[in-house]
Structure 1
Amino acid sequence: MRRSFYSIKKLSRTAACGVLVFSSSLLVNNNNIAHAQQTPPTSLSYTDSVLLHQIAKEVSADRIEQDIRTLVSFGTRHTLSETESETRGIGAARRWIKEEFDKISTECGGCLEVFFQTKVISGEKRIPNATEVVSVIAIQKGTTDTNRYVMMSGDIDSRVSDVMDSVSDSPGANDNASGVAGTLEAARVLSKHYFAGSIVYAALAGEEQGLFGGKILAEYAKANNWRLKAVLNNDMIGNIEGVNGVINNTTARIFAEGTRNTETADEATYRRFTGGEVDSPSRNLARYIDLMADRYIQNLDTMVVYRLDRFRRGGHHRPFNDLGYPGVRIMETNEHYARQHQDLRTEDGVVYGDTIDGVNFNYAAKLTALNAVSLAGMASAPNPPADVTITGAVQPSTTLSWKPHDDTLTPPINEQLKGYKIYWRLTDAPQWQFSKYVGNVTTATLENVVIDNYFFGVASVSQDGFESPVVFPGAAGAFGE
């Protein structure tokens, strides 16, 4: 299938945050000082991207259903299950996933690099004997900034009540065939287009046995110096009926950790006096996705949860967070625990088991579309600003500065980068409230906006209006180079 060209000069209009015009004067300083007076306050106004609306519409619930049914048909996908059979077990499942990625790549003229990522694990509580943990990875290289990555992932493996039972039927329809099916569908849709940055589609193995697939890929990213800016882990995106009796197909959760696991003692001390507890790159990634839901996904409201994952539980974004990468978990709002990690049975009138009848395919498509537009928006935007700093203590105004984009990292950056936008919000506000485009500069001052009363950040803007996630000043908010 021929891909449409939307990167660099042919990206459609803007795909980022809404703008509320704030009444204050702005001083922009980049060697030459220029003054720009903002217009009077107006209502919130959005400029949408034709491309992202198109991408959202291209996601197919029917294709997602077909993929979930195929994954369920393998009987069990337990990490320690059968690997030689062509019809049952984890081996058959991962080979089928690779075949699907290969088909997608063929349709787009070989645009995906598809491979098995393998490591032998042993001596672990849930993998006591030597076992090959095999994930399936597909990479869609960017047109200009090839070493900058954003990622969508789902988990291949399934389990029943006994985490070591690798023989019993474990359909894993929602947990997590839904996430893998969503990742495959996002690849089908996004591979039709070109983007400046690279996109990774990952079907990760070994999640139920200890997050091993994520650990292996995170270590691979670090060893290969990937500039990984976002990990969107999709774990259970198909259930709309909660164990609490709530049935809801209009909301979803985005779990995002606070301070980085890699924060140093000096960085923690600095953060104590300057803020940043709720402005880690993971949380500003979550805010970005939340705005994408408002903009492009009909009848979907996302809840950003200020926690790494559900209470004392974990997911495959965590290994990436452990190494300092921005990562979030996207999932349904209302879980049904009788359909998770359960032997197939009926007790006291309660049906247990993660079966296909517990999956709402239209809802899974809705969350897949959210992933797709978020990945496309970030991959179309320039690299997030680096080395963002802020000053303004005991002054009437606030000044932000950042490092110029490195042309050696993102050639030809001058063709893609338009400039930068400053964002700010009240310190108890969950989402960015005010913004101002300041041009292609490296320093900007907001006059009469007192630093003590707001949190601030900076986003990069492409020539066609695509924005990066907002970067909070200092190490607490840094997305890296």
Structure 2
Amino acid sequence: MNRNSFRVGRKIVVVKFPSVFMGILLLVSVSGASALSDDGKRDLDANGSAIVAAPTDRQIADALKGISAAEIEKTIATLVTFHNRSTISSMDTDLPKGEGVTAAADWIESELKRYAAECGGCLEVKRDTFTEPPQTGARPRIVKPTTISNVYAILRGSDPAQAQRMILVTGHYDSRNTDIMDSHGAAPGANDDASGVAVSLACAHALSKVASGLKLPATLVFVAVAGEEQGLNGSAHLAKLAKSEGWQLEAVLNNDIVGGNTTPGDTLQDKSAVRVFSESIPASATPAEQSAILRLGYESDSPSREEARAIADVARSYKRVLGPVKAGAKTAYDFHPVMEFRPDRFLRGGDHSSFNQQGFAAVRFTEWREDFNHQHQNVRTENGVEYGDLLKFVDFDYVARVARLNAAAMATLAAAPSAPANVHVVVQSLDNNTTLSWAGGPGAPAQTGYEVVWRELAAPDWQRSAPVGDSSRGSDGGYSITLPVSKDNVIFGVRAVDRVGHRSVAVVPTPAR
């Protein structure tokens, strides 16, 4: 069969795709089609093909190999030396030189400037400093006007038509101990969250090194925020800034507690897995939008959830670079993300939610199994148990794998064409076919290809896909395709694909008559 034909029963159906925007829709009708094909397959399985990993981009793979456990260790160890990186320490005047959150911000800025010098100025390094007002309520964590700095670097996209698109990675560089208001006692914060900052810096270093050759069309932003422990202050400020300035943030990757806890005796830790949390119904959705999402069964198809699926898709393409992870003398597992279909863990929060609140797609990376004796604790030993977020409990090789996954996802999404726009499913009549229509995304090159993907309603990830050929493009530039698959039984999506296989996030359709 050719790429625009599908099997129904004994017949091969060739589908022609005039543009929906021309007002002409061709619905495929096959008489005598049964519920199952001759080989016993349902319509959703008899059409298209099972989704396979996209080809590995050798330039991206080479960039990932530049991320080392040694560099990760150096970053985390340096951040630990600042003793206590409490956000409120920025207002202290009695700290020894080289301690506190401001000293940490200075060092992060210097590292990003070093990377910029190494790549010939390809990175724009910025420090956004603002004053957070005192909090109100019963237990304020900021009691006086407090200076907070977000430090970040921007790698501009190489394609002027797509450079407005942005993918952002972040971690928070502030830390805490048992007392959230203690700005002087030891608060090493090695895992929470020097590990996440190490991921962001490693991505910046690795991808800037190859920027001249890789030439990613979209823009990358590498961030270290403060104020997370006091109430997500830094990320909230940055997300609001992005919204007010019209940043086209397509994906935010927040890394928080990605140290791969190494507590002796913990046999349930999984060093081959990192959790990726994503919201269901967008936090920014209006009541009308929430109602529509529930009516369509799209509660598991928020932009953040599609971002998580895209990250899982990228991991399959780069599994040889990410893993394998040994689990014994003869056993090894591919390093992989595990999609967690909830916004975050119980009783916890993170900086990704600040971006969700402003309507951006954002997910959180967190190690598989946390040890709460090594989070938000004073450094001490009690009854033979060691407490505190110490450097020795971090697995630097694990953090490096998380960083490679982040960098691969960022580079792939930046290399892919912009996601399709105005994606619709036509609901003019009752039938067992599905007609989808869409337009190319902003700045998408003329040679952009597209894939229709689908999955069963209860399936967590995309299962099958059908490529969309040039014949599906109308004279006005719009696209339309009709598949003999019932829209009642599956969730459909459409994603953009370039000539070498970089895939955008998928976009689910809204109904149109």
Same fold (TM over 0.5): yes
CA 1:288–1:273: 2 relative to 1, 3 Å: same
Residue 173 of structure 1: CA displacement? 0.6
Which of 215, 219, 227 lines up with 2:240 in the alignment?
A: 219
The equivalent of 2:110 in structure 1 is 99
The equivalent of 1:306 in structure 2 is 341
SS in 1 for 2:235: helix
Structure 1 stretch 345-354 or stretch 442-451: which is displaced more? 442-451
TM-score by length of 1: 0.88
Q: Distance in 2 between matches of 1:116 and 1:152?
A: 16
Say if 2:51 and 2:464, in contact at 8 Å, map to a contact too.
no
Q: Distance in 1 between matches of 2:490 and 2:269?
A: 38
Q: Does 1:450 align with 2:477?
A: no
Structure 1 stretch 197-206 or stretch 42-51: which is displaced more? 42-51
SS in 2 for 1:182: helix
The equivalent of 1:134 in structure 2 is 149
Say if 2:417 and 2:445, in contact at 8 Å, map to a contact too.
no
The equivalent of 2:124 in structure 1 is 113
Say if 1:22 and 1:434, in contact at 8 Å, map to a contact too.
no
Say if 1:22 and 1:435, in contact at 8 Å, map to a contact too.
no
CA 1:311–1:349: 2 relative to 1, 3 Å: same
Q: Unaligned 5+ residue runs, structure 1? A: 1-18, 476-481
CA 1:197–1:41: 2 relative to 1, 3 Å: closer
SS in 2 for 1:209: helix
The equivalent of 2:445 in structure 1 is 414
Show CA shifts across 1:194-244 (max 9, x none): 210000100001000000110111011111101100000000111244796
The equivalent of 1:423 in structure 2 is 453
Say if 1:171 and 1:355, in contact at 8 Å, map to a contact too.
yes
Residue 404 of structure 1: CA displacement? 3.3
Q: Does 1:256 align with 2:278?
A: yes
Q: Does 1:29 align with 2:29?
A: no
Show CA shifts across 1:348-385 (max 9, x none): 11100000000000000000000000000000011111
Residue 51 of structure 1: CA displacement? 2.4
CA 1:379–1:278: 2 relative to 1, 3 Å: same
The equivalent of 1:11 in structure 2 is none
CA 1:127–1:436: 2 relative to 1, 3 Å: same
Which of 268, 289, 296 lines up with 1:274 in the alignment?
A: 296
Say if 1:421 and 1:439, in contact at 8 Å, map to a contact too.
no
Say if 1:27 and 1:35, in contact at 8 Å, map to a contact too.
no
CA 1:23–1:186: 2 relative to 1, 3 Å: farther
The equivalent of 1:16 in structure 2 is none
CA 1:33–1:54: 2 relative to 1, 3 Å: farther
CA 1:22–1:62: 2 relative to 1, 3 Å: farther
Residue 107 of structure 1: CA displacement? 0.8
Say if 1:148 and 1:227, in contact at 8 Å, map to a contact too.
yes
Q: Does 1:339 align with 2:374?
A: yes
Say if 1:241 and 1:335, in contact at 8 Å, map to a contact too.
no
The equivalent of 1:81 in structure 2 is 89
User: Greater CA radius of gyration, 1 or 2?
Assistant: 2
The equivalent of 1:123 in structure 2 is 134
Residue 43 of structure 1: CA displacement? 6.4
CA 1:42–1:267: 2 relative to 1, 3 Å: closer
Q: Does 1:401 align with 2:437?
A: yes
Which of 189, 192, 197 lines up with 1:180 in the alignment?
A: 197
Residue 33 of structure 1: CA displacement? 8.5
State the one-letter code of the partner of 1:141: R
Say if 2:48 and 2:465, in contact at 8 Å, map to a contact too.
no
SS in 1 for 2:243: helix
The equivalent of 2:36 in structure 1 is none
Structure 1 stretch 456-465 or stretch 442-451: which is displaced more? 442-451
Residue 52 of structure 1: CA displacement? 2.8
State the one-letter code of the partner of 1:205: A
Structure 1 stretch 112-121 or stretch 436-445: which is displaced more? 436-445
Q: Distance in 1 between matches of 2:502 and 2:27?
A: 25
Map of 1:224-243 to 2, 5 A cutoff?
224-241=245-262
CA 1:332–1:22: 2 relative to 1, 3 Å: farther
Q: Distance in 1 between matches of 2:456 and 2:335?
A: 25
The equivalent of 1:436 in structure 2 is 466
TM-score by length of 2: 0.83
CA 1:175–1:113: 2 relative to 1, 3 Å: same
Q: Does 1:291 align with 2:313?
A: yes
CA 1:340–1:51: 2 relative to 1, 3 Å: same
CA 1:208–1:196: 2 relative to 1, 3 Å: same
State the one-letter code of the partner of 1:291: D
Say if 1:27 and 1:33, in contact at 8 Å, map to a contact too.
no
Show CA shifts across 1:136-191 (max 9, x none): 01111101222110000010100000111111011101111111111111101111
Residue 45 of structure 1: CA displacement? 4.2
The equivalent of 1:62 in structure 2 is 70
SS in 2 for 1:81: helix
Q: Distance in 1 between matches of 2:460 and 2:236?
A: 31
Q: Does 1:348 align with 2:383?
A: yes
Residue 386 of structure 1: CA displacement? 1.7
Say if 2:280 and 2:301, in contact at 8 Å, map to a contact too.
yes
Q: Distance in 2 between matches of 1:121 and 1:414?
A: 43
Residue 58 of structure 1: CA displacement? 1.9
State the one-letter code of the partner of 2:172: D
Q: Unaligned 5+ residue runs, structure 2? A: 29-44, 324-333
Equivalent pairs counted in the alignment come to 449
SS in 2 for 1:28: coil
Q: Distance in 2 between matches of 1:149 and 1:155?
A: 19
